[in-house]
Structure 1
Amino acid sequence: MEKFIEYILQFGNLNKQQIDLIKSKATEVELQKGEYYWEAGKTVRKIGFLTEGVIRVYFYNNKGDEITRYFIDENHLILSGPTIDEIYTPSEYLSAITDCKMIIFSKQDWRDISETILDWDNIIQKIITKHHSEKIARRSELISQDGTERYLDFMQKFPTLINRVPLSYIASYLGITQSSLSRIRKNIG
């Protein structure tokens, strides 16, 4: 819980009463490796913050291939759709690659916090903007790079993930085959 509060405080000020309210609305949960945080086609009714571990965001293309779209690591907020009031049914899966610890809020509890803490929406918007910028920076270069450049870039941008994420997921994220990734790793090793 403290990791979440420390993270939030980087984006705005909260007094003890406000922090106590947030803590009273939050639930700490653990996801075991392989468990889903959410599944495609099932309505999402919670907001999460990852304090420990790695989650993979993936989908199936029209050929039935599993495509890794993104990795979520520590200190990331996982919102439930474009707005808190919207009923959100994702087309992607979020699955724990490692054992994970999360702070979870129901949508109603999140709404209660938003209605009670005047600056809450502003704080959350700053976090969303930061995460969105990071995501765009991480993905945009993949388009113009060859496989080796993509992997080197991945190692630079996700240094803590190289030894925590299976190679098949990294290859999928980079848009290359696992055998290509193995060759690239051997050539730069």
Structure 2
Amino acid sequence: MHPLFHYINQYVLISEEDFEIFKSHFIQKKLSKKQYLLQEGEICKYLGFIVKGAMRKYYIDEKGIKHTVNLYVENWWAGDRESFVMLTPSAYNLDAWEDCELLLISRESTLKLRNECPAFNELTLKLDEQSTISTQKRITSSISLTAEKRYEDFVNNYPHFTQRFPQHIIASYLGITKDTLSRVRKKALKK
């Protein structure tokens, strides 16, 4: 069975018939490593479900420094939700960190799916709840935790990310420098 079917059924039970309706709203897309799904200034026309590969979302500040906002791997959704919903230009870049296989869904298709497949509404609600909780934890972490604790939480929550993304990307995601991350990792290895 399709990876998206298994993913959906972790959140809501969906029949194979409903899944066929669901799946008909997606288009397949392959991205090569370093290829963009979205670039700053574009409107996010699609949200992507990652079937295979890894991606990152980042923005570039006025000094030209890249700040990693999100990291994505298989069975994660990638995109700029604000741009997708509000149809406004994105402040972010979204690129493939590895070769990727995606299933893309447009805003128009998400609106159609709300009417055609009630399980989609339930799935969206559960994913929104999960996203809000995750964002809240990340904000609290970045405001109040030490670099050591942020890295420890990152490794505990996303152990596979340390194998998929280089240290400078992880440091950017944690809001610390590469040197700080190097010191934190050495300290953690001594424990």
After superposition, the C-alpha distances for 1:53-72 in whole angstroms (9 at most, x for unaligned) are 22111111222211112212
Query: In terms of mean alpha carbon deviation, does 155-164 or 56-65 score higher?
Result: 56-65
Structure 2 segments unaligned to the other structure (5+ residues) = none
CA distance 1:113–1:30, shift in 2 (3 Å): same
TM-score by length of 2: 0.86
Q: How does 1:2-151 map to 2 (within 5 A)?
A: 2-78=2-78, 81-82=81-82, 86-151=86-151
Deviation at 1:169, TM superposition (A): 0.9
Residue in structure 2 matched with residue 157 of structure 1 by the alignment = 157
Cα distance in 1 for partners of 2:164, 2:171 equals 14
Deviation at 1:83, TM superposition (A): 8.7
Output the amino acid matched with 2:25: K
RMSD, matched Cα: 2.2
Q: Is the 8 A contact 2:30 2:100 kept in 1?
A: yes
Q: Is the 8 A contact 2:22 2:117 kept in 1?
A: no
After superposition, the C-alpha distances for 1:126-157 in whole angstroms (9 at most, x for unaligned) are 11211331233244223222222222222112
Aligned residues with identical type, % of pairs: 26
Deviation at 1:84, TM superposition (A): 6.3
Cα distance in 1 for partners of 2:186, 2:47 equals 40
After superposition, the C-alpha distances for 1:24-51 in whole angstroms (9 at most, x for unaligned) are 2222222222111211100111121122
Output the amino acid matched with 1:9: N
Larger helix proportion, structure 1 or 2? Answer: 2
Cα distance in 2 for partners of 1:157, 1:145 equals 15
Output the amino acid matched with 2:126: K
Structure 1 segments unaligned to the other structure (5+ residues) = none
Deviation at 1:186, TM superposition (A): 2.5
